[in-house]
Amino acid sequence: MSGLPTRQIPGVYHRRFGEFLVTGISDGYVEMGYNIFREFEPQDVDLMMARDHRVSPPRISVNCFLVRGPAGTVLIDCGSADKFGPTAGKLFENLEAAGVDPSEVDHVLLTHCHPDHSSGLADPKNGRRLFPNATVIANRKEIEHWFSDEEMASVDERKRLRYFGWTREQVEPYREKHLRLADDGEEVLPGIRLVECAGHTPGHSTWLIRSQGQQMIVWGDLAHVPEIQVARPEVSMSFDHDPDLAAKNRTALLARIFEEDMLVAGMHIHFPGFGWLVRESSGYRVATEQWNFEI
């Protein structure tokens, strides 16, 4: 049969949240191997993924979130550009499908500076800012770490390139006039507050949005593989800067999210990335939010 589609429709999903319109924007996905888990065996991964009919080794979704409302037009994280192959780097085509030009973005908030979250800031060929009218806001500790020559000298060549080098390449074009450093607990824009959750990186941050009595947390890399790390918060990743601190802070923040019944928007929750925590055994699971036709 000829004429059948070969691609999905654009990865764009809108959701009202108080005074805000929050839009999940897919950047695609990344196929990962078993070696991403620290002290967690392949057979354990297979069992936990099979429970939810997920592929194993895991396929990790990459999402960004556009937040429009009292704070202007805000993009939280900006995807992976060309750093992770043909299945990722879809942010800009999906922004176009959503009717948003990058020049309309007032602020880009970074959860952290790993390449699947920050590689869409600038064109590495010429240093051109891809969000020409935006101010980047990031945790002060995050930027200080990746721009520390001492820290850079202490790691292997691969990390020097992929973490320090790529971060500097992306952030430097904004650094002089278009970068704002924030601290834990700071309300950086109306209704949007930085909640630090260090460990995955030194300044890994989540963004708490409050509006009309509701709370949503955009949780960055609190969980890379939600089927595993939400159910087993102690499981850390091979690319965590401080795995033990990451596990400790993940456990504490998951408990807070559950207790305060926050809506979750997750960078690595399967698109469109919205859900709620449900208590299960000694951990939790993400109950993905029902799809709504009306915005």
Cβ–Cβ under 8 Å, residues 89 and 82:
yes
pLDDT of residue 155: 95
Residue 295 lies in a domain: no
Give a yes or no: residue 2 inside a domain.
Answer: no
pLDDT tens, position by position, 227-252: 999 999 999 999 999 999 999 999 99
Residue 293 within any structural domain of the chain: no
pLDDT of residue 1: 61
Write down the pLDDT at residue 161: 95
Q: Kindly state whether residue 7 falls inside one of the protein's structural domains.
A: no
Record the pTM.
Answer: 0.95
3-state helix/strand/coil string of the chain: CCCCCCCCCCCEEEEEECCEEEEEEEEEEEECCHHHECCCCHHHHHHHHHHCCCCCCCEEEEEEEEEEECCEEEEECCCCCCCCCCCECCHHHHHHHCCCCHHHCCEEECCCCCHHHHCCCECCCCCCECCCCCEEEEEHHHHHHHCCHHHHHCCCHHHHHHHHHHHHHHHHHHHCCCEEEECCCCEEECCEEEEECCCCCCCCEEEEEEECCEEEEECCCCCCCHHHHCCCCCCCECCCCCHHHHHHHHHHHHHHHHHCCCEEECCCCCCCCEEEEEEECCEEEEEECCCCCCC
pLDDT digits (tens, 9 = 90+) for 45-79: 888 888 888 878 889 999 999 999 999 999 999 99
The count of domains in the chain is: 1
**Residue 11, amino acid:** G
- Domain containing residue 70: 12-288
Phi/psi of residue 92, nearest 5 degrees: -70, -35
**What CATH number did the domain enclosing 282 receive?**
3.60.15.10
In a domain? residue 133: yes
Each residue of 4-56: pLDDT tens digit? 888 888 999 999 999 999 999 999 999 888 888 887 888 888 888 888 888 78
